[in-house]
Amino acid sequence: MATVLAIETSCDETAVAIVKNRKVLSSIIASQIPVHRQYGGVVPEVASRQHVETINQAIAQAFEEAGTDWAEIEGIAATCAPGLVGALLVGLSAAKTLAILQNKPFVGVHHLEGHIYASYLSAPDLEPPFLCLLVSGGHTSLIYVKDCGMYEKLGETRDDAAGEAFDKVARLLQLGYPGGPAIDKLAREGNPNAFPLPEGKVSLPSGGYHPYDSSFSGLKTAVLRLVQKLEQEGVQPLPVNDIAASFQDTVARSLTRRAIACALDRNINTIAVGGGVAANSGLRKHLQAAAETHNLRVIFPSLKFCTDNAAMIGCAAAEHLDRGHTSPLTLGVRSRLAI
Ligand code: KG4
Ligand code: ZN
């Protein structure tokens, strides 16, 4: 398998990694979170500038940490879509420039493909077919991974992504940005049964509910109504731990139910989880327990490879390179692109 230098700059992390044989030799993640926190979310133009300022140093650090040099690198990869266009351009341009200078093959990687392959880093024996529960800030999907580059979407959210719901509820509870980790932390101290909240369901025209699709906007509104009700009743301070725990538990149960139903219906015995929300302790607990009950294998990436990183991009690129897949140097970035 190939040794790859990978760059990921689709949002607010300037990430560079060197990956070999599903093994991470180095992974540098220069987070911009403190810069964006003052604005309450990611400011695209600020993100692009930060990537420009940080990228060269991150590449140098990745080589230093891995103890490798250019002679060992067999390919250069970067995220090409989806994401913030200006931010993506920084990483993609850097990768293409290095590919020309070093005369190495270049591979553009879909960001979500990276999240799928993050599970290979914690379970190097994993091979398709498997089901991926992809839960990030921008996406919530159930993807059937038939083979490298062959994906079928079996379920998705009809409105907010799971991570987006965490971020919005955190904003409502004034917990700051990013919201997922803040809610996760508070939920550990709270009672998940304190406030029954509705699990969003997607109705089918023929009656009943879609078994794999999810909806989180109603849940977010239910939390808003709950907060307003408690405030009207003069409850002070707000029981944020219990609200966070109840919300998190509802999301975790909803995702678990859909992933398990999909795996069982399709006769798929392995579920790999990917994306920032894969770091969530409630989801990890519920899905692990349900998978054991049904005799399914469930794989979570290690916490540092759930949220955005370049190691997952390198891992996906290595799989493609092994199959002789490369990208032309004319490849551009796309803010949206189906996997
Ligand atoms: O995969 P990711 O880093 O970026 C995207 O591709 O979107 O995911 C970021 C999302 C954010 O919405 C963040 O709040 C959420 O993942 N997140 C979490 C946790 N850690 C990150 N959500 C719930 N629990 C966590 N521990
Ligand atoms: Zn991501």
Is the CB of residue 55 less than 8 Å from the CB of residue 9?
yes
pLDDT at residue number 1: 75
The answer to whether position 20 is within a domain reads: yes
C-alpha span between 116 and 75 (Å, rounded): 20
Q: Is the dihedral of CA 301, 305, 306, 312 positive or negative?
A: negative
Ligand 1 test: best mutation among 132, 136, 249, 284, most atoms within 8 Å of CB? 136
288 with 298, same domain: the answer is: yes
64 with 154, same domain: the answer is: no
Q: How far is the CA of 170 from the centre of ligand 1 (A)?
A: 12
The answer to whether position 336 is within a domain reads: no
Q: Six-digit token pair at 26?
A: 């180095």
Q: Which residues pair with 81 in a beta bridge?
A: 110
Residue carrying structure tokens 């103890």? 67
The tens-digit pLDDT sequence of the chain (339 residues) is 799 999 999 999 999 999 998 999 999 999 998 899 888 889 999 999 999 999 999 999 999 999 999 999 999 999 999 999 999 999 999 999 999 999 999 999 999 999 999 999 999 999 999 999 999 999 999 999 999 999 999 999 999 999 999 999 999 999 988 899 999 999 999 999 999 999 999 999 999 999 999 999 999 999 999 999 999 999 999 999 999 999 999 999 999 999 999 999 999 999 999 999 999 999 999 999 999 999 999 999 999 999 999 999 999 999 999 999 999 999 999 999 999
104 with 164, same domain: the answer is: no
C-alpha span between 218 and 287 (Å, rounded): 22
132 with 79, same domain: the answer is: no
218 with 242, same domain: the answer is: yes
Most distant CA pair in the chain, distance: 68
Does 215 contact ligand 1 (Cβ within 6 A)? no
C-alpha span between 99 and 77 (Å, rounded): 9
Q: How far is the CA of 307 from the centre of ligand 1 (A)?
A: 6
286 with 193, same domain: the answer is: yes
Q: Range of 287's domain?
A: 124-305
The answer to whether position 83 is within a domain reads: yes
Q: How far is the CA of 138 from the centre of ligand 2 (A)?
A: 8
CATH number of residue 317's parent domain: 3.30.420.40
Give the other-Cβ count within 10 Å of 177's Cβ. 18
140 with 42, same domain: the answer is: no
Taking alpha carbons only, the member of 157, 152, 118 closest to residue 251 is 157
Domain count, the chain: 2
The answer to whether position 335 is within a domain reads: no
Alpha-carbon 334 to chain mean position: 18
209 with 95, same domain: the answer is: no
Whether this model's ipTM surpasses 0.85 comes out as yes
The answer to whether position 149 is within a domain reads: yes
The answer to whether position 42 is within a domain reads: yes
